[in-house]
Amino acid sequence: MISIAIVGTGNVGTHLFKAFYEVKDVEVSIINSRKLDTLPKSDLTIIAVADDAIAEVSSNISNSFVVHTSGSVPMNALQNLTSKGVFYPLQSFSKEKEVNFSGIPFCLEAENSKDLSKLERLVSLLGGKIYHINSEQRKRIHIAAVFANNFTNHMYAMANDICKEHDIPFDILHPLIAETSEKIKTMNPLEAQTGPAIRDDQKTIQNHLHLLNESQKEMYLKLTASIQHYGKKL
């Protein structure tokens, strides 16, 4: 039996709590970060609060092993005097949507191999995927995730806008979006690149530019140039 205390009742904290609650060999509790005086003694304390609050919250915790769940905060930002670590699930969480941690990557970091094993065991219990990632790498993963998630979603939003302007149902793009995201599981995205930009199909590019408004046009040109720049690496 391993006991876990989660500090922070936001998306990540709540979803982790629910997931650990279902695991037989784990005893889990969750508390609001403003009620640290009620924190139970636990084998592992998981701080799941806003990045800015991690240092302060951790400085008030005396439990033996304390980790945070942030993509961009270094392990050493933790101010507890006991063991430190990182337990960062790389996924986008929504309040409303159930999270299945099966297959979800966890970026783990710890000060010694015994603590690391502890974190590994917990990932296994959740069915997640273990990655050993140091604080420098984790920062970069966080940026890469901005491209792969936030910026990608913005491409969907721009596509949605173009559809809406011309009474086209956005769902017509769903299968294409699904295929695009599937493809990179088996193919390097550099090699998977298709479309007028990589072909330098100027006729199609000019046709498209004529039909876009100023801000769409600016984005189209920028992305087209970037795709062509990347294409030279092939």
- Please give the residues from 47 up to 66 whose contact with a copy of itself meets the rule CB under 8 A: 51-52
**Cβ of residue 62: shortest distance to a copy of itself, in angstroms?**
28
- Please give the residues from 196 up to 225 whose contact with a copy of itself meets the rule CB under 8 A: 196-198, 203-204, 207-208, 211-212, 215, 218-220, 222-223
Q: Which of these ranges, 15-23, 57-65, 117-125, 178-186, lies near a copy of itself under the rule CB under 8 A?
A: 178-186
Written as six digits, the tokens of 23 are 């695991």
Beta strands in the chain, from DSSP E residues, in sequence order: 2-7, 26-31, 44-47, 65-68, 83-89, 105-110, 129-132
Query: In this complex, which beta carbon is closest to a copy of itself, that of residue 117 or of residue 194?
Result: 194
CA distances from 124 to 25, 61, 179 (A): 12, 26, 30
How many whole angstroms separate alpha carbon 108 and alpha carbon 41? 22
Query: In this complex, which beta carbon is closest to a copy of itself, that of residue 14 or of residue 72?
Result: 72
Return the SS3 of 61. coil
Is residue 175 a contact residue for a copy of itself (CB under 8 A)? yes
Query: Are 42 and 5 contacting, i.e. CB atoms less than 8 angstroms apart?
Result: yes
Residue from 38, 112, 188, 202 in contact with a copy of itself (CB under 8 A): 188
Is residue 193 a contact residue for a copy of itself (CB under 8 A)? yes
Query: 40 φ, ψ to 5°?
Result: -75, 150
Q: Which of these ranges, 2-10, 55-63, 111-119, 140-148, lies near a copy of itself under the rule CB under 8 A?
A: 140-148
Residue from 60, 76, 149, 206 in contact with a copy of itself (CB under 8 A): 149
| Long-range contacts formed by 139-142: CB under 8 A, 24+ apart | 139/71, 139/72, 139/74, 141/71, 141/90, 141/107, 142/71, 142/72
Is residue 172 a contact residue for a copy of itself (CB under 8 A)? yes
* Neighbour tally for 9: CB within 10 Å: 17
Q: Which of these ranges, 40-48, 77-85, 119-127, 165-173, lies near a copy of itself under the rule CB under 8 A?
A: 165-173
- Please give the residues from 76 up to 135 whose contact with a copy of itself meets the rule CB under 8 A: 90-92, 94, 103-105, 107, 131, 133
Q: Which of these ranges, 16-24, 36-44, 117-125, 137-145, lies near a copy of itself under the rule CB under 8 A?
A: 137-145
Q: Which of these ranges, 13-21, 75-83, 114-122, 151-159, lies near a copy of itself under the rule CB under 8 A?
A: 151-159
**Cβ of residue 30: shortest distance to a copy of itself, in angstroms?**
22
List the 65-68 sheet strands across, edge first: 26-31, 2-7, 44-47, 65-68, 83-89, 105-110, 129-132
